[in-house]
């Protein structure tokens, strides 16, 4: 029981710290009156958070980690590469287009990883996730080639290395 | 000075990519391909323009705010595209390959 | 300063193109696509304007605009998810004839 309440304290403390840092970064003022408003809004959000956790029984941990940043920088590289591809398609002849749609299986177990996967697919130009269900993602691609790349599963493997809190 | 010239390059590239995406909106043949064109402006043009602006700040709270805008846009724009494509599909809009497939069926039958 | 003006004008041109797309679209989804692009470009435009005028406070407005644009998009799409079928079917058949 003590470890459970200890965990809860850490959980709320991390949220309070993150929200306070967020508030300070957005406002940048250190006057007493405005600081009071900041404290009040942080308290309000944490109360709401506690209330919502009681309702849906799925406390959400903060998803920040070093692996996530590494993954996002890799994703930025992918975005640049595929944007250049799509730019060529836009300025080139529209007969080069070979749009394709296919349902690919997803191996990631947790919901968050599926969300991250589908979001990354949509974020890279040239591929678009049209529909997501429990173990498949329907993908529309501008080019057959980009579907082959996704089928090879490099992105899925990268996502598997990102530690995401289970829920 | 170096930062400013890098920022100039980034801003020009960002403007170029957003114009590319807007032109793609008119050149691509059907709705689903047009979403790809829009995602060029949403992803790379946003990244380039925001980083171009970041290099022009004094690296203080303004930088943090710009980064926050970038993060918000990068999380929300794929979600919006996905929701759009999903509702188009549920609304019964077919993609080009599917239209071709149904056409072939019609011819053979 | 010149380059910021140029970027602002380029973003304005993109916004004009997106609006044109939204106005002469053939399905409701194309319209929403144009409007969404208009919205995201608007928040970028507000940020650039803030730098042009030397008033970084504009960035707060840009953040709020980005968030409201997203929420509005999701709300509109909820509304259209299962309703605009006639539109889609008509487009499907015209596309089929064109091929």
Which chain B positions have a beta carbon within 8 Å of A26's beta carbon?
65, 68
A105 strand-pairing partners: A136
pLDDT of residue A61: 67
Please give the C-alpha separations between residue B8 and each of A68, B5, B43, B54, B65, in angstroms, as whole numbers.
29, 5, 19, 11, 20
How far is Cα A150 from Cα A133, in angstroms, rounded to an integer? 17
- Among B19, B50, B60, B43, which Cα is nearest to C62's? B50
pLDDT of residue A44: 95
pLDDT of residue A43: 94
Chain C residue with the nearest C-alpha to that of B27 = C21
| Residues C23 and C10: beta-carbon distance below 8 Å | no
pLDDT of residue C17: 93
Which chain C positions have a beta carbon within 8 Å of B83's beta carbon?
73-74, 77
pLDDT of residue A167: 42
pLDDT of residue A52: 85
Which chain A positions have a beta carbon within 8 Å of B57's beta carbon?
none
3-state secondary structure of B75: helix
- Among C75, C76, C93, C73, which Cα is nearest to C26's? C93
Residues B82, A142: C-beta atoms closer than 8 Å: no
Which chain C positions have a beta carbon within 8 Å of B7's beta carbon?
3
Given a contact as 3+ CB pairs under 8 Å, which chains touch B? A, C
Distance from CA of A84 to the nearest CA of B (A): 9
pLDDT of residue A48: 92
How far is Cα C2 from Cα B58, in angstroms, rounded to an integer? 19
Q: What is the ipTM of this complex?
A: 0.85
Residues B76, C66: C-beta atoms closer than 8 Å: yes
Please give the C-alpha separations between residue A103 and each of A128, A147, B12, B39, in angstroms, as whole numbers.
12, 10, 38, 21
pLDDT of residue C49: 92
Q: How many domains does chain B have?
A: 1
pLDDT of residue A2: 59
- Window 59-98 of C: residues touching B by CB (8 A cutoff) are 59-60, 62-63, 66-67, 69-70, 73-74, 77, 80-85, 87-89, 91-92, 95-96
Which chain B positions have a beta carbon within 8 Å of A130's beta carbon?
32, 82, 85-86, 89
How far is Cα A16 from Cα B33, in angstroms, rounded to an integer? 43
Phi, psi angle pair for B92, to nearest 5°? 100, 10
Is any Cβ of chain C less than 8 angstroms from the Cβ of B28?
no
A137 strand-pairing partners: A104, A132
- Among A161, A166, A167, which Cα is nearest to A66's? A161
Is any Cβ of chain C less than 8 angstroms from the Cβ of B62?
yes
pLDDT of residue A53: 82
Helix (H), strand (E) at residue B106? helix B96-108
Contacts of A9 (CB under 8 A, 6+ apart): none
Contacts of B92 (CB under 8 A, 6+ apart): C85, C88, C89, C92
Residues A101, B82: C-beta atoms closer than 8 Å: no
Encode chain C (99 residues) as per-residue pLDDT tens digits. 788 999 999 999 999 999 999 998 888 888 899 999 999 999 999 999 999 988 888 888 999 999 999 999 888 888 877 766 677 777 777 777 776
pLDDT of residue A166: 47
What is the CATH code of the structural domain delimited by C2-98?
1.10.287
Q: How many residues does chain A have?
A: 167
Which chain B positions have a beta carbon within 8 Å of C89's beta carbon?
92
* Residue B47 structural domain: 2-108
Distance from CA of A55 to the nearest CA of B (A): 25
Instruction: Work out how many CB contacts closer than 8 A connect B with C.
Output: 159
pLDDT of residue B99: 78
Distance from CA of B44 to the nearest CA of C (A): 13
Distance from CA of B27 to the nearest CA of A (A): 7
State pLDDT tens for residues B80-90: 988 888 888 88
Distance from CA of C5 to the nearest CA of B (A): 11
pLDDT of residue A5: 78
Chain A residue with the nearest C-alpha to that of B47 = A76
Write down the domain spans for chain A.
2-56, 66-161
Chain A residue with the nearest C-alpha to that of B90 = A131
Write down the domain spans for chain C.
2-98
Which chain B positions have a beta carbon within 8 Å of C85's beta carbon?
91-92
Residues B43, A83: C-beta atoms closer than 8 Å: yes
Q: What is the mean pLDDT of each run of 10 residues along chain A (167 residues)?
A: 73 88 86 91 92 77 74 88 88 80 78 82 87 84 82 80 60
């Amino acid at each position: 029981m003590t470890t459970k309440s200890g965990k809860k304290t850490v959980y709320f403390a991390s949220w309070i710290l993150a929200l306070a840092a967020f508030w300070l970064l957005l406002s940048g003022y250190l006057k007493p009156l405005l600081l009071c408003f900041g404290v009040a809004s942080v308290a309000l959000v944490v109360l709401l958070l506690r209330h919502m956790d009681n309702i849906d029984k799925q406390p959400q941990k903060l998803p920040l980690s070093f692996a996530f940043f590494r993954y996002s920088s890799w994703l930025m590289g992918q975005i640049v590469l595929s944007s250049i591809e799509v730019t060529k398609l836009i300025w080139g002849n529209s007969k080069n287009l070979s749009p394709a749609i296919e349902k690919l299986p997803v191996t990631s177990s947790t919901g968050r990883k599926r969300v991250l996967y589908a979001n990354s697919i949509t974020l890279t130009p040239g591929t678009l996730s049209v529909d997501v269900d429990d173990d498949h993602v329907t993908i529309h691609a501008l080019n057959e080639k980009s579907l082959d790349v996704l089928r090879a599963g490099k992105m899925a493997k990268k996502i598997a290395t990102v530690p995401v809190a289970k829920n | 000075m170096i930062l400013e010239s890098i920022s100039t390059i980034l801003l020009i590239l960002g403007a170029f990519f957003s114009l590319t995406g807007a032109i793609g909106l008119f050149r691509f043949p059907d709705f689903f391909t047009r979403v790809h064109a829009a995602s060029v402006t949403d992803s790379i043009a946003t990244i380039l323009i925001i980083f171009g602006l970041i290099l022009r700040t004094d690296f203080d709270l303004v930088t943090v705010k710009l980064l926050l805008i970038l993060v918000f846009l990068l999380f929300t724009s794929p979600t919006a595209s996905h929701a759009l494509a999903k509702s188009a599909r549920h609304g019964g809009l077919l993609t080009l390959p599917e239209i071709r497939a149904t056409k072939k069926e019609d011819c053979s039958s | 300063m010149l380059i910021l003006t140029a970027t602002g004008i380029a973003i304005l041109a993109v916004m004009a193109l997106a609006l044109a797309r939204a106005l002469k679209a053939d399905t409701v989804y194309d319209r929403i696509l144009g409007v969404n692009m208009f919205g995201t470009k608007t928040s970028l435009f507000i940020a650039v304007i803030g730098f042009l005028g030397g008033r970084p406070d504009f960035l707060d407005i840009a953040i709020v605009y980005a968030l409201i644009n997203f929420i509005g998009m999701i709300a509109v799409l909820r509304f259209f998810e299962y309703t605009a079928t006639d539109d889609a079917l008509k487009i499907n058949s015209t596309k089929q004839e064109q091929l």
